[in-house]
Amino acid sequence: MSRSPTNAPPVIIGSSQALKAVLRDAKRLAAADLAVLITGETGTGKELLARQIHIWAKPAAPAGPDEPKAPPSDRRELAKQGREDATNADDDPRPFVAFNCAAVPENLIESELFGFEPGAFSGAARKHRGLFMQADGGTLFLDEVGDLSLATQAKLLRALQEGEIRPLGTERIVRVRVRLLAATHKDLAEEVAAGRFREDLFYRLNASMPLCLPPLRDRRSDILAMVNFALNGATARKRERATSRDRNRRHLKRDALSLLMTYAWPGNVRQLLQAVKNAAALCRGKAISRAAIARALGMADPRNEERGDVTAAALAELTERGALAAARLRDVTGCARKEGHAVLRELQRRGNIARRGQGRSTYYVTAGERVLPKPNPPAPTPAPTVTPPPPAVVPDLNSRQAELVATLPVGERVTTGEYGRRFGVGRATAFRDLDALAEANVLAAVGKGRGGAHVRRPAG
């Protein structure tokens, strides 16, 4: 239960068409001084809308002198119980009292709503002003009204129709003037059909014309404004269009915002605000990362699954071809350039692969394979610890090709220019020789254009 001042600032943030339609109807109903039923999924902001209606409503005077205002001692006691804001009790003529019907046991709801006199029941040592008396001249908001029992519903209906209540333990009738706002996540029409909700109370609450708050998935255009408000307070509402370029305040990275925009949000606005606050606590700097948002939502970063697929493709390609360039990985998987390089660097860091070459000629081989110096004159001598693999059985090899196959270790690269200089042939002849060896699965082509080369494949 809570009681709020009437001069509180507006609390609903958003400019989507779905939200504007609800607020437009709410403002009209607020001026008509009618009971209003607010429906919507959990976390959509039903109590916030009720507070906004209370702010828009015309002031209503208390019912009369039947029930004098509680003395300061009573107000302090009520504040301790969480039923009244003691700091605003003296200067707030329009109280807003909120009560969750599902949070109190059924045998205590009647005493909470209508109050009781000393000795009304065991343990009632002093007088208690019920919620209707606390909200006299203002607004009473009953959340989860669909959870009330049929007996309590009958007493609530009389209080609404007659404007009268009778506290427990007394025959005295107390007149009150209260604007009732109710909320529920249930379908009250189905509850009436099932006999769990009174039909007369259904119509008294204007349940046939409720205010239905849209779920967050139907108003995704409001997500950025709510995130900015959650991170930076009320001043962010004036800068809803600010982007991550404003480094002086907390903000989301673009990929983090993309994750928020595509998430299903079963908990709606409540889940969004809590997730953003949790993610902000996990990040040290001003920028909130996608990984922090994913962790706050209790989900794995979807990019990790995509990267796992690219990693598996890279390892399979290395096993089949013996060498792999980033361009080849992009052609095979369709991944972005940065993503392909990130996967290869991560495999290199783990020790799965080794990097060879520089610049555009960079390629990767399985870790542990020995790479000898380039066979430029004078011809290099293989290290004693490395035994060159036997030449592959390939038909119709000329002398140049046979010598290359016999001396080029597995994983070593050779370019067209190197081949031509070594054997004294032109570029076209060198290209034909190397291309023939690639077609015979002796060599593997890596890279493209001037950065392209051929790498010796494993035997067999």
Do 64 and 177 sit in the same domain of this protein?
yes
pLDDT over 60 (residue 53): yes
Do 204 and 233 sit in the same domain of this protein?
no
Number of compact structural domains in the chain: 4
* Residue 353 confidence (pLDDT): 81
Whole-Å CA distances, 94 to 2, 6, 59, 162, 444: 13, 6, 7, 21, 82
Nearest CA-CA partner of 215 in 169, 265, 180 = 265
Backbone angles phi, psi at 403, to 5 degrees: -65, -40
* Residue 83 confidence (pLDDT): 38
251 touches 287 (CB < 8 A): yes
Confidence of residue 8 (pLDDT cuts 50, 70, 90): very low
The encoded tokens of residue 218 equal 């139907």
- β-partners of residue 4 are 96
pLDDT tens-digit series, residues 287-326: 888 888 988 988 765 555 555 667 777 777 777 777 777 7
263 touches 278 (CB < 8 A): no
42 touches 18 (CB < 8 A): no
* Residue 272 confidence (pLDDT): 94
pLDDT over 90 (residue 37): yes
The encoded tokens of residue 128 equal 């208690």
* Residue 153 confidence (pLDDT): 92
Do 110 and 226 sit in the same domain of this protein?
no
Greater confidence (328 vs 221) lies with 221
Do 258 and 231 sit in the same domain of this protein?
yes
pLDDT tens-digit series, residues 222-240: 999 999 888 876 444 444 4
202 touches 188 (CB < 8 A): yes
Q: What is the CATH number of the domain that holds 235?
A: 1.10.8.60
Do 391 and 422 sit in the same domain of this protein?
yes
pLDDT over 90 (residue 197): yes
Mean model confidence pLDDT for the chain? 77
pLDDT tens-digit series, residues 272-286: 999 999 998 888 778
Do 46 and 173 sit in the same domain of this protein?
yes
Helices (H), 136-253: 150-162, 188-193, 199-204, 223-232
- Picking from 183, 214, 245, the residue at the C-terminal end of a domain is 214
Alpha carbons 222 and 280: distance in angstroms, whole number = 19
The encoded tokens of residue 431 equal 């290209």
Single-letter amino acid code for the residue at 253: K
Alpha carbons 191 and 209: distance in angstroms, whole number = 16
- Picking from 299, 327, 356, the residue at the C-terminal end of a domain is 299
Q: What is the CATH number of the domain that holds 173?
A: 3.40.50.300
Do 79 and 176 sit in the same domain of this protein?
yes
Do 239 and 332 sit in the same domain of this protein?
no
* Residue 74 confidence (pLDDT): 46
* Residue 196 confidence (pLDDT): 93
pLDDT tens-digit series, residues 109-161: 888 888 888 766 767 667 888 899 989 989 999 999 999 999 999 989 988 88
Highest mean pLDDT among 12-21, 337-346, 365-374: 12-21
The encoded tokens of residue 315 equal 């390892």
pLDDT over 60 (residue 388): no
Confidence of residue 21 (pLDDT cuts 50, 70, 90): very high
Do 336 and 418 sit in the same domain of this protein?
no
Residue that has been written with the tokens 């408000």 in this structure: 229
pLDDT tens-digit series, residues 390-440: 554 555 788 888 888 888 888 888 888 888 888 888 888 888 888 888 888
Q: What percent of the chain has pLDDT over 90?
A: 24
Alpha carbons 392 and 444: distance in angstroms, whole number = 14
Q: 176-180, 196-200, 206-210, 381-385: lowest mean pLDDT where?
A: 381-385
- Picking from 185, 214, 243, the residue at the C-terminal end of a domain is 214
Rg of the chain over all Cα atoms, to the nearest angstrom: 37
Confidence of residue 33 (pLDDT cuts 50, 70, 90): confident
pLDDT over 90 (residue 361): no
pLDDT over 50 (residue 245): no
Do 77 and 181 sit in the same domain of this protein?
yes
Do 32 and 136 sit in the same domain of this protein?
yes
DSSP state for residue 167 in the 8-state scheme: -
What is the residue range of 347's domain? 301-369
Greater confidence (236 vs 211) lies with 211
* Residue 305 confidence (pLDDT): 53
The encoded tokens of residue 409 equal 């270790």
The gap from C-alpha 149 to its chain's centroid, in whole angstroms, comes to 36
Do 17 and 133 sit in the same domain of this protein?
yes
Strands (DSSP E) found in 43-159: 96-100, 139-143
pLDDT tens-digit series, residues 331-354: 766 677 777 777 787 788 777 788
Q: What is the CATH number of the domain that holds 443?
A: 1.10.10.10
